[in-house]
Structure 1
Amino acid sequence: MSEPLLLIDNPRPQVRRFTLNRPEKRNALSNSLRTELFSALEAADRDESVRVSIIRGAGTCFSSGYQLGGGNDEGQPYYTPDGIGQWPRHVVEGSFRIWDLAKPVIAQVHGYCLAGGSELATACDLVYVAEDAQIGYPPVRSMSPPDMQFHPWLMGLRNAMEMMLTGDSISGSEAVEKGFANRAFPAEELGERVLEMAERVAKVPSDVQQFNKRATHRAMEIMGVRAAIRAGTEMQALAFFTPSSIAYREEFAKGVRHALSIRDGKFGDYRESGRDSD
């Protein structure tokens, strides 16, 4: 019998925790896993016994990103109209599905938090990271800008530009300094410290907390965050038609590991640093 893709527990009163459970694939976000996660988050949002949710990853990391190697157009967890740019529009809609939940969602990040994994963390209301976590968006090196272009909104122009132009990762400690995350803790303390924060968040009744969330989001929306992130999906789609992006994606036919090594070899990081990632 295969292991479940998503583990669910209730580690504290009024706290529900979801563990991405594909450790052998660095918790790559397949459509099957995404379907289970969205369904479980929405169930928690309807459950009166739950006031806050936590998302974390099993094994060595939070998530290495979306499932690579093709097939992402099959079995998507919710309908998104077809056409050019369907995938970035689809995953941005998913981020806003989490954003629009009534109850707070916390990302607990350790190890690699890359590409689509960083988008999942960004969609959460609070982000707590291990000090040595590695957060980045390496596909900008060879394929396209992100599906969900959150960087300028969280990190400001200069920090966003550096990450977009290099694809380099930042540590958990740097992520706090630059505005991606709320707080960083030693890796061995992360789980307990996140539960402590979840318990504090859960002290506020959900009927009040939903307005606390929305008030903060509305301020960001008035400044244009939702429109800007949606507009970014068109830039991502356009980039897929550049000769360099087309050539790089052809390398995936020779194997995902091969393609990632081509992408990161000249930089000497991620897979090429000896610390394996998908």
Structure 2
Amino acid sequence: MTYETLNYAVDDAVATITLNRPERMNALTKVLEAELRTAIEAAGRDNAVRSIILTGAGRAFCAGMDMDELEVLPPEDIRAEEWMRSYDMNRRADYQTRYSYFPAAPKPIISAINGAAAGLGLIMALYSDFRLASDKAVFATAFAQRGLIAEHGIAWILPRIVGHANAMDLLLTSRKIDAQEALQIGLVHQMVPADALPDAARQLAHRLGNDVSPRSVRIMKQQLWEAPFQTLGDAISSANTEMVMSLRSEDFKEGIAHFVERRPARFPGN
């Protein structure tokens, strides 16, 4: 499939999705939003893909919604059916909404944040499984400066990542923070020099694709995103069920075999 506003490439089991509107700092339009969802769903279904990298072309990751579209955006668009379709009918409804489909993707998503991540750009990074930042990255919620609110569930997810006080600060003040502060408060997992970011993201992607079981990664990603809605007993019960299935899996057999035989793993992914 060809895309108008992003680049999509698969190489060595890694799908790289690059938002490609550098002249507009990769600001979201309805076309880009739709293409991004299509690309992530395609990567999720592709058996040749084991991990996904999301990044931006030029000097920005994503500067949020394109202001030209925001000015004429109908208020009811926020709940339009086209954005709320199900990604995976076996997942909670919480993960079948406009941006929370990121957690429903069966492959880990790595946001390689190369520059500004504001508004919806920050939300996409938060819904990713890993956040690696260039030392030139800048973060802002921006909503309060536009007369908006904490949209798309950011009031739920941001405090779980950076804590209540930091979330209150970032949301209510709309102030910008640099990559160093983002690292200090736990907003990002790692900060690297700008020219090292692509390699750092690919190294992580390759580790997820080659060194560990894709089946384990898929199930554990689901466990971690489902756990906030579960009691401890529910989490244990679900884990016990999944453990039985994992012990019967081909990846478990390979996990034992490559350890005993002292060779690199060759996980089939099932």
Q: TM-score, normalised by structure 1?
A: 0.70
Q: CA deviation at 1:165?
A: 2.2
Q: CA deviation at 1:92?
A: 8.5
Distance 1:140 1:201, change over 3 A: same
Residues 208-254 of structure 1: CA deviation (Å, up to 9, x unaligned): 2111101211223338xxxxxxxxxxxxxxxxxxxxxxxxxxxxxxx
Q: Is contact 2:28-2:65 (8 Å) kept?
A: yes
Question: SS at 2:198's partner residue?
Answer: helix
Q: 2:101 aligns with which of 97, 112, 133?
A: 97
Q: 2:177 aligned with 1:173, yes or no?
A: no
Question: SS at 2:149's partner residue?
Answer: coil
Q: CA deviation at 1:80?
A: 4.1
Q: 2:204 aligns with which of 165, 189, 197?
A: 197
Using CA pairs under 8 Å that are at least 6 residues apart, name the structure with larger relative contact order, 1 or 2. 1
2:133: which partner in 1? 129
- 1:7-18 superposed matches below 5 A: 7-11=7-11, 13-18=12-17
1:51: which partner in 2? 50
Residues 96-146 of structure 1: CA deviation (Å, up to 9, x unaligned): 211111111110102110001000111111110112210111221341222
Paired with 1:209 and 1:91, the residues of 2 have a C-alpha distance of: 18
Paired with 1:77 and 1:170, the residues of 2 have a C-alpha distance of: 34
Q: Which runs of 4+ in 1 moved over 6 A?
A: none
1:264: which partner in 2? none
Residues 163-217 of structure 1: CA deviation (Å, up to 9, x unaligned): 1221001111211211211111111111111111111111233222111101211
1:21: which partner in 2? 20
Unaligned runs of at least 5 residues, structure 2: 86-93, 232-270
After superposition, the CA RMSD in angstroms is 2.6
1:160: which partner in 2? 167
Residue type of the partner of 2:221?
K
Calculate percent identity across the aligned residue pairs.
27
How many residue pairs were aligned? Answer: 213
Distance 1:131 1:222, change over 3 A: farther
2:65: which partner in 1? 66
Q: TM-score, normalised by structure 2?
A: 0.72
